[in-house]
């Protein structure tokens, strides 16, 4: 497991090879959580976010639901600081990149319950393959075709409460970012970036996922409050089903995710 108890060069190597890093217990992160947790809890009761309850209310998706500013602070809370942000600041493209409004992802026992609007194939994929996806590959239209619509810089997962390892853990396919980067370069490098979003990548993307499942080890990531994990922007990742033996508190499995977008698509494509 890659953690911040090692040097930056070792962390860089872990990110290059595995596509994720675990940052160990950070006092700055504990302080941020204490100031932010009440606001995160309130998002679940906000009528404006009712659409984020999915799978028979076993998952609150909560995309951009946290009302933080570009420094990560909610009203009355603290700016987001600590080891992870210091590590990210070593990359020019990330140094001055404002944080987005965090996703507040909350799971409960029974996830993923069958949704009335979900097809058999979709539900089976969610249960068997953790709904694995690459951020930015958006579905459009009744046929759910896939297009590259967003260019996220990274995924930074921050557990807000303690929960057991079997409580719908984050899943990443180690090394998948390298395969995906080759895939996107092959399809996009010779095209104008303004035309990327109109390119139907559905069939190629599905084959990419199958290739990654064959070639890359699946890793479940479990972290505690005060820890956080950084995942490469092109890594295939998902969320495992809640295991029957896993017992959590009333907050369930609550994780906040920062996923800021890179303004320049070419930078997104060409970064390591």
CATH of the domain at 169: 2.60.120.620
Which of these, 263, 151, 133, 131, lies nearest to 197 by C-alpha position? 151
User: Is it the case that residue 121 has pLDDT exceeding 80?
Assistant: yes
DSSP string over 92-145:
HHHHTPPPPPPEEEEE-TT-SPPPTT--HHHHHHHHHHTT-B-TTEEEETTTTE
In a domain, 214, yes or no: no
Q: Which residues pair with 238 in a beta bridge?
A: 171
In a domain, 189, yes or no: no
User: Domain range for residue 164?
Assistant: 8-138+149-173+220-266
Give 92's pLDDT tier (boundaries 50, 70, 90): confident
In a domain, 120, yes or no: yes
Write the CB contacts of 57 (distance below 8 Å, at least 6 apart in sequence): 108, 113
User: Is it the case that residue 112 has pLDDT exceeding 90?
Assistant: yes
User: Is it the case that residue 116 has pLDDT exceeding 90?
Assistant: no
Which of these, 229, 228, 246, 257, lies nearest to 108 by C-alpha position? 246
Phi, psi of 237 (to 5 degrees): -150, 170
Angle subtended by helix axes 202-215 and 176-188, to nearest 10:
150
User: Is it the case that residue 126 has pLDDT exceeding 70?
Assistant: yes
Report pLDDT for 8: 78
Helix (H) or strand (E) run with residue 238 in it: strand 237-239
In this structure, of 15-19, 119-123, 176-180, 258-262, the range with the lowest mean pLDDT score is 119-123
Q: Is 143 exposed, middle or buried (0-12, 13-18, 19+ CB in 10 A)?
A: exposed
User: What's the average model confidence in pLDDT over 257-272?
Assistant: 97
DSSP state at residue 147:
E
In a domain, 17, yes or no: yes
Helix (H, G, I), strand (E, B) or coil at 268: helix
CB 230, CB 15: distance < 8 Å: yes
User: What is the total count of domains within the chain?
Assistant: 1
User: What's the average model confidence in pLDDT over 29-40?
Assistant: 99
Half-sphere exposure of residue 126: CA atoms within 13 angstroms, side-chain side = 18
User: Is it the case that residue 3 has pLDDT exceeding 50?
Assistant: no
In a domain, 203, yes or no: no
Residue 130: asked if its preceding bond is cis (omega within 30°), the reply is: no
User: Is it the case that residue 4 has pLDDT exceeding 90?
Assistant: no
In a domain, 92, yes or no: yes
pTM for this entry: 0.95
Residue 112: asked if its preceding bond is cis (omega within 30°), the reply is: yes
In a domain, 228, yes or no: yes
In a domain, 60, yes or no: yes
User: What's the average model confidence in pLDDT over 50-66?
Assistant: 98
Q: How far apart, in whole angstroms, are the C-alpha atoms of residue 167 and residue 1?
A: 20
Report pLDDT for 6: 52
């Amino acid at each position: 497991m890659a953690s911040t108890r090692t040097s930056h060069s070792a962390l860089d190597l872990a990110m290059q090879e595995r596509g994720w890093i675990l940052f160990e217990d950070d006092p700055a992160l504990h302080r941020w959580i204490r100031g932010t947790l009440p606001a995160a809890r309130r998002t679940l009761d906000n009528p404006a976010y009712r659409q984020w309850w999915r799978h028979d209310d076993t998952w609150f998706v909560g995309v951009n639901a946290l009302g933080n500013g570009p420094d990560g602070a909610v009203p009355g809370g603290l700016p987001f600081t600590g080891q992870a942000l210091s590590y990210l600041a070593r990359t020019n493209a990330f140094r001055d990149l404002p944080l987005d409004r965090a996703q507040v992802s909350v799971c409960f026992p029974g996830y993923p319950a069958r949704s009335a609007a979900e097809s058999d194939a979709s539900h089976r994929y969610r249960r068997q393959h953790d709904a694995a996806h690459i951020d930015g590959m958006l579905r459009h239209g009744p046929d759910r075709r896939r297009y590259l619509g967003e260019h996220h810089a990274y995924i930074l997962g921050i557990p807000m409460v303690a929960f057991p390892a079997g409580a719908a853990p984050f899943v990443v396919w180690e090394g998948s970012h390298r395969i995906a980067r080759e895939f996107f370069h092959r399809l996009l490098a010779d095209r104008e970036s303004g035309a990327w979003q109109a390119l139907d990548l559905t069939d190629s993307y599905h084959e990419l996922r199958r290739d990654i499942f064959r070639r890359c080890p699946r890793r479940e990531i479990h972290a505690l409050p005060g820890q956080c994990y950084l995942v490469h922007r092109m890594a295939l990742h998902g969320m495992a089903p809640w295991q029957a033996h896993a017992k959590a508190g009333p907050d369930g499995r609550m994780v906040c995710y920062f996923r800021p977008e890179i303004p320049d698509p070419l930078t997104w494509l060409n970064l390591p």
